[in-house]
Amino acid sequence: MGNVDYKELKKGGFMRQIQKGYFSMRLKSVGGHLTAQQLKTIQEVAEKYGHGYIHLTSRQGVEIPFINIDNVDQVKQELAQGGVQVGVCGPRVRTITACQGNKICPSGLIDTVDVAAQLEKRYGGRELPHKFKFGVTGCCNNCLKAEENDLGIKGGVRPAWNDKVCTFCGLCQIICPGKAIEVNKKDKNLTFDMEKCIYCGKCLKVCPTSAWSGDPGFIVSFGGLYGNRITVGKRLLPLIFSTDILYKIIDATLTFFEENARKGERFANTLDRVGWHLLEKELKEVL
């Protein structure tokens, strides 16, 4: 017990419990997805080495409590045989969360599952000055609360109106949460205020004649922090339509964090100290 590298164990997803010699083991998941086989493996390990239950974290993670330090290597081996990897903790990119996106949800505007998989492939476990959280949500219903994350990605769409097929039924005005649309049924007139638009795409989905159209894109927020201090992530850029640009933006963000943060400093605190305008300036150079 005296030679145990607790820091290395925590890095690998093993978090010390108040019970001496026991750990709550965090497992790797991407976008909240686990296969039935993985779930079966987790069940078997929890029953064999834990106390027969698991804990679901607030960030779509799975933890198995009461793993004895003497069983760590065996547990990792048996999990790996069932396709389950341990997660990560500490100062690095953490579990990437995502809703089901447009492949499942009628409200979804982007493929959140693919975005989460790409984020994991590109940045998963990357060492940073402090922990860094990504959250991907498919639309402005914001089920994953994108602005709580160091970097949040939300599906959005910039709508365009075609007067030639519009029947001026007024459904778009009724459903618009930003009150950006006004329809005059009597005079057959519609006004659209882009400044009020939140890019939710509800007008596209409700329109019976497809008078509203638009390409989906990414609304990106920066510097969210929910802990001892709460900061809502800020939107610094216009709607992004290219995945290539999206990942260049993320590359620049993580590089900025690495170059400007003090050790143990969260991203929002770095931005408050050095100035949000510096990040905004660097990001706009990527566009």
CATH no., domain 160-213: 3.30.70.20
Q: Do domains 6-81 and 160-213 have the same CATH topology?
A: yes
pLDDT of residue 2: 53
Q: What is the pLDDT of residues 132-164, one digit of tens each?
A: 999 999 999 999 999 999 999 999 999 999 999
pLDDT band at 8 (very low <50, low <70, confident <90, very high): confident
CATH no., domain 97-157+216-286: 3.30.413.10
257, pLDDT greater than 90? yes
Please tell us whether the domain made up of 6-81 is placed in CATH 3.50.50.60: no
pLDDT of residue 6: 81
What residues does each domain of the chain span?
Answer: 6-81, 97-157+216-286, 160-213
Q: What is the pLDDT of residues 158-187, one digit of tens each?
A: 999 999 999 999 999 999 999 999 999 999
Q: What is the mean pLDDT of the chain?
A: 95
Phi-psi map region of 100: left, alpha, beta (phi>0 left; psi -120 to 50 alpha): alpha
Among 216, 36, 30, smallest CA distance to 138 is for: 216
CA distance 135 to 113: 11
Average the pLDDT over 72-80 and give the result: 95
4, pLDDT greater than 80? no
1, pLDDT greater than 70? no
Could you write out the DSSP letters of every residue in the chain?
Answer: -TT--HHHHHHTTEEE-SSTTEEEEEE--BTTB--HHHHHHHHHHHHHHSSS--EE-TTS-EEEEEEEGGGHHHHHHHHHHTT--B---SSBB-PPEE--GGGT-TT--S-HHHHHHHHHHHHTT-B-SS-B-EEEESSTT-TT-GGGSSEEEEEEE--EE-TTT-----HHHHH-TT--EEEETTTTEEEE-GGG-----HHHHH-TT--EE--EEEEEEE--EESSSEE--EE-S--B--HHHHHHHHHHHHHHHHHHPPTT--HHHHHHHH-HHHHHHHHHHH-
Question: In the block, which residue shows the tokens 């790409």?
Answer: 118
Beta bridge partners of 24: 15
The percentage of the chain sitting over the pLDDT mark of 90, rounded to a whole number, equals: 93
7, pLDDT greater than 90? no
Question: In the block, which residue shows the tokens 């922090």?
Answer: 225
Q: What is the pLDDT of residues 80-129, one digit of tens each?
A: 999 999 998 899 999 999 999 999 999 999 999 999 999 999 999 999 99
pLDDT of residue 81: 96
287 and 245 Cβ atoms separated by less than 8 Å: yes
Beta bridge partners of 212: 161
